[in-house]
Structure 1
Amino acid sequence: MEDNIFLIGKEDELKRVDVFLSHKIKDKSRSYIQSLIEKQKVKVNGKIRKSNYKLKENDEVFIDIPESIPLNIQAEDIPLDILYEDKDIIVVNKSQGMVVHPASGNLNGTLVNALLNHCKDLSGINGVTRPGIVHRIDKDTSGVLVVAKNDLAHNKLAEQLKNHSMNRIYVALVEGVLKNDEGIIDAPLGRHPVERIKIAVIKGGRKAITHYKVIKRFNNYTLVECKLETGRTHQIRVHMAYTGHPLVGDPVYGYKKQKFNLLGQMLHAKKLGFIHPSTNKYIEFSTELPSYYKNILINLEKQLK
């Protein structure tokens, strides 16, 4: 275990504790620091604090950084559905069931393993386990993802994510029939206070905004288009469940009893648009719904007749 203790001087007063620590610990990202805070690995004057805690002079900040486990990430000959590729980026259509990057207990069969076999020049900003990965989508969510092939491209894409200028549109099938044709869900998200594996709408959580629009209403189901204004973990899944309309097939936030034999939530990243890091021109990519998704919609359509 690597332990770090910092005594706060006047120059660091009023800084957020997560911002302060991410500046002090150069090899750790702010999101990683925030994850340690959520896991109660950070204390201020011996007390657990949230990421947005404002520091005071003479505060003592303690952070417990777990020892990293070396991971030997192997290139694997896994087919990739590449929508576009140039010297800066690769845009892929990720299949349902594929994990984006390796993690403890899940080192093989990921998108990163496949990318390493296809392309050796990936950005190194996110380290050896996440080369090129600018943003993620859940294992059981399919659809468009952009990967950076160099650090300059990575930084420019990450900046667009940070300022919410990327155009990210998903298609979800949710339980029940939505009354409104469109709406905005503005509800802060954070780690569930009891079930730590879950994300929940909580007071004081990180700002999260989802725009939704009804595409089609079925008997007991609604097909919706969701546009992310922010990009929090499980955002669409949690927000729709919060409205009383969880995603069909969602094993974490959905109904316990599911009508369809699904591998996971019916959520597809249909469209991704962004400013190209070299040309500075807007480009956009779209993908069709997976076949299993289309077949369920066809069956639901038949039931309307």
Structure 2
Amino acid sequence: MVKLLKEPKAILRDGMELVYHRLPWREPDAPYLLQVLYEDDDMIALNKPAGLQVLPGGLFQQRTVLMQLQGTSGILLCAKTMVAKTSLAAFFAEGTSLIGDSSNTDMKQSKRRKISKIYRALVNGILKQDKIIIKQPIGTMPSGKPALSKVEVLERDSQLNQTLVQVEIESGRPHQIRIHLSFIGHPLLGDPLYDVGGQPMCFDSEHEDESFAEDGGYERPAKPVPGDCGYYLHAHQLVLSHPTTNEQVIKITASLPPILRTQAETEELM
């Protein structure tokens, strides 16, 4: 027996089957071409364009990387086997475990670390220091998880009041670079969510009934939410040991978008 429930507070009982039907909604336009940078039997590295969301969420349910296989552009590393997935996860975990260990010098850490990811980013303001190491924990204080980002200034533009930086991360916390750079007072240029200090400007995850769009989806929130794009962050280089042989060192590079190139790099391409 199929019963149509119109009361949102109706109580379901054992044996009842709930089927949810929603109208398809028109998702915002998003790029969809994925360039393969590296592939073997164990893993594949893709060059994800900016504006293409990796996992379904918010306004994007179909136009995602997951839907093709299934904010950030650049290298996206995916495991093709469970063994490779386990090894790659261990590589990141090992790098994170070294953070805060004063007995390890940078040289020792570099030798022991089996995966390293380097980003390009454009930030607000002029960074005075040429190199900065940020160790601010990520997450709710005081239980934040260890995180470390190495920032190096590549080019300063005093006229536009912005700085081009390279960021090497030794941990992979969600939104780590965005949080760390805003923590030191230089949020990513165009970041709609994180403000100076590393805290979200606002978080609007609830939708009232009247916020439904005519096509069945949600109207775009008036305030920024975690899935919003618009900032300049690009996963540029990835260096790692092979997840199964553990011997071959692989270096993968995703070409830089014009806005994240130094003047010298731009001139070389002309």
Correspondent of 1:90 among 29, 39, 44: 44
- Whether 2:143 is the aligned partner of 1:212: answer no
- For residues 195 and 189 of structure 2, the distance between their equivalents in structure 1, rounded to whole angstroms, comes to 7
In the alignment, structure 1 segments of 5+ residues that lack a partner are 1-68, 70-77, 117-139, 192-201, 257-261
Structure 1 residue 229: Cα displacement: 1.4
Matched position secondary structure for 2:69: helix
Correspondent of 2:184 among 237, 243, 252: 243
- For residues 292 and 222 of structure 1, the distance between their equivalents in structure 2, rounded to whole angstroms, comes to 11
Structure 2 matches for 1:192-207, cutoff 5 A? 202-207=141-146
Matched position secondary structure for 1:189: coil
**Residue of structure 2 equivalent to 1:286:** 253
CA deviation string 1:53-73 (max 9, x = no partner): xxxxxxxxxxxxxxxx9xxxx
Q: Which amino acid aligns with 2:91?
A: Q
**Residue of structure 2 equivalent to 1:154:** 85
Structure 2 matches for 1:220-231, cutoff 5 A? 220-231=161-172
Structure 2 matches for 1:123-134, cutoff 5 A? none
Correspondent of 1:167 among 109, 112, 116: 116
Matched position secondary structure for 1:152: helix
TM-score (norm 2): 0.63
Q: Which amino acid aligns with 2:185?
A: G
Q: Which has the higher contact order (CA 8 A, sep 6+)?
A: 2
**Residue of structure 2 equivalent to 1:111:** 65
**Residue of structure 2 equivalent to 1:16:** none
8 A Cα contact 1:248 1:254, kept in partner: no
Structure 2 matches for 1:1-305, cutoff 5 A? 78-103=32-57, 106-116=60-70, 140-164=71-95, 165=113, 166-191=115-140, 202-219=141-158, 220-254=161-195, 264-280=230-246, 281-291=248-258, 293-294=260-261
- For residues 56 and 80 of structure 2, the distance between their equivalents in structure 1, rounded to whole angstroms, comes to 18
Structure 1 residue 274: Cα displacement: 1.2
Structure 1 residue 203: Cα displacement: 3.0
Q: Which amino acid aligns with 1:284?
A: K
Matched position secondary structure for 1:157: helix
Matched position secondary structure for 2:44: strand
Structure 1 residue 145: Cα displacement: 1.2
Q: Which amino acid aligns with 1:143?
A: G
**Residue of structure 2 equivalent to 1:54:** none
Structure 1 residue 290: Cα displacement: 2.0
Q: Root-mean-square deviation (CA), in Å?
A: 2.8
Structure 1 consecutive aligned stretches of length 4 or more whose deviation exceeds 3 Å: 103-106, 291-294
8 A Cα contact 1:271 1:287, kept in partner: yes
Structure 1 residue 84: Cα displacement: 1.2
Identity across the alignment (%): 39
Q: Which amino acid aligns with 1:92?
A: L
8 A Cα contact 2:121 2:260, kept in partner: no
- For residues 244 and 170 of structure 1, the distance between their equivalents in structure 2, rounded to whole angstroms, comes to 18
- For residues 268 and 254 of structure 1, the distance between their equivalents in structure 2, rounded to whole angstroms, comes to 19
User: How many residue pairs align between the two structures?
Assistant: 186
- For residues 230 and 83 of structure 1, the distance between their equivalents in structure 2, rounded to whole angstroms, comes to 22
8 A Cα contact 2:122 2:260, kept in partner: no
8 A Cα contact 1:247 1:265, kept in partner: yes
In the alignment, structure 2 segments of 5+ residues that lack a partner are 1-19, 21-31, 96-112, 202-227
CA deviation string 1:127-163 (max 9, x = no partner): xxxxxxxxxxxxx110111111110111111110111
Structure 1 residue 113: Cα displacement: 1.3
Task: Classify 1:284/1:162 alpha carbon distance in 2 versus 1 (closer, same or farther; 3 Å).
Answer: same
Larger strand share, 1 or 2 = 1
Structure 1 residue 292: Cα displacement: 5.2
- For residues 96 and 149 of structure 1, the distance between their equivalents in structure 2, rounded to whole angstroms, comes to 23
Matched position secondary structure for 1:184: strand
- For residues 263 and 106 of structure 1, the distance between their equivalents in structure 2, rounded to whole angstroms, comes to 12
